[in-house]
Amino acid sequence: MRLKFIMAGSLLPALFLFAAGPVATPPKPPLGLLPVTWPADNPYSAAKAELGRILYFDKRLSADETLSCASCHDPKKAFTDGAPVSTGIRGQRGGRSAPTVINRAWSLAQFWDGRASSLEDQAIGPMANPIEMGSTHEAIEGHLQAIPGYKPLFQAAFGNDKITITHVAKALATFERTIMSGDSPYDRWKAGRPNAMPAAAVRGFHVFQKAQCDACHEGHNFTSNMYSNIGVGAEKPNPDTGRFVITKSESDWGAFKTPTLRDVEHTAPYMHDGSLKTLEEVVDYYDKGGTPNKNLDSHIRPQHLRPEEKADLVAFLKALSGNGWQSITAPSSFPQ
């Protein structure tokens, strides 16, 4: 079995880590990002991150073996699926757009409504969702335990070859915390290189501040990690009430988590329902003051931006496209 595993090309790095011991030094974030705070009960190791990468792309984690985590969070599409709403097993369609996994290491609660308290909790949620991957945590444990090639990977990552859904969650979350975007034109401009951003993007940065976009899209990751009602879908007969479903607080009615703007150029369509196709549409939506409703955020109001200001703002948003995540690829083979 050990020889068979060595011959599986993409799995060789993990086997080497098993022989040499885990590497405890996490990858350094690109320019512009703060260090990652790794959970005390799930510290980084290269073996764990590699196991997470393999699990992330393995379609055998779904009930009918047709979908993986990467099906809805595809690295070729900036870790989204490029669709207004995601499609699960047997062609079932969800009600919300798949958010990018990029820079989730700096996110707090996960999902559009914040129902998962950690990246570990989020990682295993879709597996047991009947309209997403459609399996159960117990079935996933049994299925992985029946694949001999996974045991050395779990041994390398956790010091034993016991395969549990908790270990699956920790491995996936470790891998996902390595999916980063920084060193963008904006970051280089902010670091003192005046020509790193086009003039239009520099003007757009000032429009971004003028329009108070940074009230919600703040900090190094351009998100407050909080929830806001900006009116998207509020006019529908049965609107998605967002975080209200989780908290039952009227102040959360129609509120959704503020997403990062990092690499927003590559994560269309936009909003929780994927209803806006382009950045220009997003800017127009905010400029008009959103959609009025009983809980519209106080920051959402008409801006009356000039056409050239809108164009500059879009240029700035595109200047937030960075580096780091593009090198992540699927394994060439999987444990057998």
Contact 270, 280 (CB under 8 A): no
**Which tokens belong to 307?**
């056409």
Concatenating the DSSP letter of every residue in 70-133 gives HHHSBGGGTTB-SSSS-B-GGG-B-SS-----TTGGG-SSBSTT--BSSHHHHHHTGGG-TTTT
Concatenating the DSSP letter of every residue in 55-84 gives HHH-GGGSTTS---HHHHSBGGGTTB-SSS
Active site residues: 132
Q: Give backbone dihedrals phi and psi of 93, rounded to 5 degrees, phi first.
A: -105, 135
60 to each of 13, 98, 334, how far by Cα in Å?
21, 20, 10
